[in-house]
Chain A
Amino acid sequence: MTFTASLRSEFLKIKRTSLIYIILVAAFIIPFVMFFDYGSPDPEKLANGWDHFYKEATMVFVFVFLPMFFVLTSTLLMQIEVKNNAWKQVLASPQPFFNIIFAKFIIIQTLAFAFVVVYNAYMVLSAAVLDMAYGSDVLAYLKRWPELLKFNLNAFGATIGISTLGFWLALRSKNFIAPIAIGFLLWVIGPVSLEFKLPHIDKYVFVLPFTVFAKKFEHQRLFYQLLSLGYGLFFFTIAYVEFVWQRVQFKWLWQRPGRIVQ
């Protein structure tokens, strides 16, 4: 039994669920608002007409939408098992516990990746229409794709900690509301604390996406990426240990196997 079998099983489960529609709709909101909110390109500011436009939109996307997306999709993914009363069948199948939860985690990361890609596609589309309307060069910005890619990867990296925290909250709850409410509350603490300039708040997991944009943290970007990864490993380990602990007594993990009767 390989990990790919578990992964394939998890992919099949999200077929015909609302997760795909959430990606398509949620990714559309910011480009849609930005499109109608756009005044005119500022030639003084940036090389291309939509440079500023993109950064402003993506700041909201990475700081608000992506963290909430992780919390929501993790909860919805776990609810597939809860609502269908299917956890017991999953756990009675011959899959290692690690495969079960890591496959689910990969699904969430894949959905988030799709969310980022769809969002970027909408942004390009929205900007292209505006550029054409204002007579700017549509392709000029796309030629800077390595910069765009790096920016997106940084944003993704800064949310790894949030994604595993949301995953852990969803995994340990049978309830739909609780992980979303806790996730939202933890997120709200971020901007409020930033407003009050609390010490070390830049290291708070929900504030890490902010460091991708703020000039103040530019020189420490690698540190924040590693910190997010550290949070990611920490929360995933907690989620895994708790998941196993609920089903197996840890002493058995290092005890010798019992008698085998043939």
Chain B
Amino acid sequence: MSSTIIRTDQLCYNYTKGVSTLTDIHLQVNRGDIYGFLGPNGSGKTTTLSLLLGLLKTQHGTIEILGKDLQHHRKEVLRKVGSLIESPSLYNHLTAKENLEVYREIYGASKARLQGVLNIVGLSDTGKKTVRQFSLGMRQRLSIALALLPKPELLILDEPTNGLDPAGILELRSLIRSLNKEEGITFLISSHILSEVEKMVNRIGIIYKGRMRFQGSLGELHKLQQQQSLVQLDTSDNLRAWAVLKKFQAELQDEDLVVPYTDLAQVAIINRMLIDNDLDVYNLHPRKQTLETIFINLTTE
């Protein structure tokens, strides 16, 4: 069995001729991943997810899901994929159970499974209440129940925390973690807030203006964070200090000297080297990058 659940190659899409919405998207989601697909609003997340579900016509590139080409195996692929794209797609005039019943036979799910997914999301006791009377959080939970109905191998959730209160977000986060751990479901979750998905994902893809800016494990993103942390220096002779710290890839920026560092021990070494070379240190300011600033740097011009 392939370890890659989603693989896109040179995926491009444009809604209007000449205006590219997606360019050369190479997405790779492995089995068992909780993959956070991040990017600011309008960066192309929903377009990518819509292409993965066959909601939009693939114009260029290939999409392989669960080892099968989506265009030629649409039904087989979709049978194993649950999804929630943007706002909940529910019939407001029907009850929670009826909404699931609409899709039960299509996914070949049993009545017990239907009840099971309602129990998982805590909506088994809504009775004859129609979805119109549901709160946004309840709708979101019902949409997740619908996505879980086919016992999916892959769940694609587009901004699933939209409109949820903090308690709802925590609840959803723990639900995703437990489904990933206990049922082995692979998740592809899109969001525009890094901190929201940071605590549950193991792999991250960052998209900006239709292009992938980063793809890798959370560890790799942390590594990037460390690489991009800088110590800002002002010494009695910045030019000579720059020559001394050349091996640390020091750079002169205006009147300041900046040196990348990975940990505070390295900052101490830098300081000692300057003193050993008869340079007075007037200012030493380590600027540690957070994941959030890395994300912002990757998603701004």
Residues of A within 8 A of B (CB): 1, 4-6, 8-9, 12-13, 15-17, 80, 83-96, 246-249, 252, 255, 257-262
Contact = CB atoms under 8 A, between A and B. Distances in A.
Contacts of B150: 94
Given A9-B103, A13-B102, A262-B67, A257 B72 contact: yes
Contacts of A261: 2, 4, 64, 67
A-B pairs, 5 with minimum CB distance: A258-B69, A89-B89, A5-B105, A257-B72, A94-B78
Contact of B103 (A88, A93, A248, A252): A93
Interface in B73-124: 73-79, 81, 83, 85-94, 98, 101-103, 105-108
A93 B152 CA distance: 12
B50 interface: yes
Contacts of A85: 86-89
A247 B54 CA distance: 7
B93 A17 contact: yes
A5 B106 contact: yes
Contact of A6 (B67, B91, B101, B106): B106
B53 interface: yes
A195 B106 CA distance: 50
A91 B88 contact: no
B68 interface: yes
A1 B150 CA distance: 12
29 contacts: A6-B106, A12-B101, A12-B102, A13-B94, A13-B102, A15-B94, A16-B94, A17-B93, A84-B91, A85-B86, A85-B88, A88-B89, A89-B89, A92-B55, A94-B74, A94-B76, A94-B79, A246-B57, A247-B54, A247-B56, A248-B57, A249-B58, A249-B59, A249-B71, A257-B72, A258-B62, A258-B64, A258-B72, A260-B68
A241 to B, nearest CB: 14
Given A248-B71, A258-B72, A261-B64, A88 B105 contact: no
A80 B67 CA distance: 35
Contacts of B102: 9, 12-13
A247 B57 contact: yes
A258 B71 contact: yes
Interface string B125-147: 00000100000000000000010
Nearest to A246: B57
Interface of B is mostly: loop
Given A13-B102, A258-B64, A259-B69, A96 B89 contact: no
A95 B106 contact: yes
Interface in B29-78: 50, 53-59, 62, 64, 67-69, 71-78
**Among B4, B62, B93, B130, which residue has the most Cβ atoms of chain A within 10 A?**
B93
Contact of B69 (A16, A80, A93, A260): A260
A249 B69 CA distance: 14
Nearest to B70: A258
B1 interface: yes
A92 B70 CA distance: 12
Nearest to A12: B102
A91 B54 contact: yes
B72 to A, nearest CB: 4
Contact of B55 (A13, A247, A260, A262): A247
Given A96-B75, A247-B54, A262-B1, A84 B90 contact: yes
B58 A92 contact: no
A257 to B, nearest CB: 4
Given A92-B78, A249-B59, 5 more contacts: A85-B86, A94-B107, A94-B150, A255-B72, A259-B69
Contacts of A89: 83, 85, 89, 103, 146
B35 to A, nearest CB: 18
A9 to B, nearest CB: 5
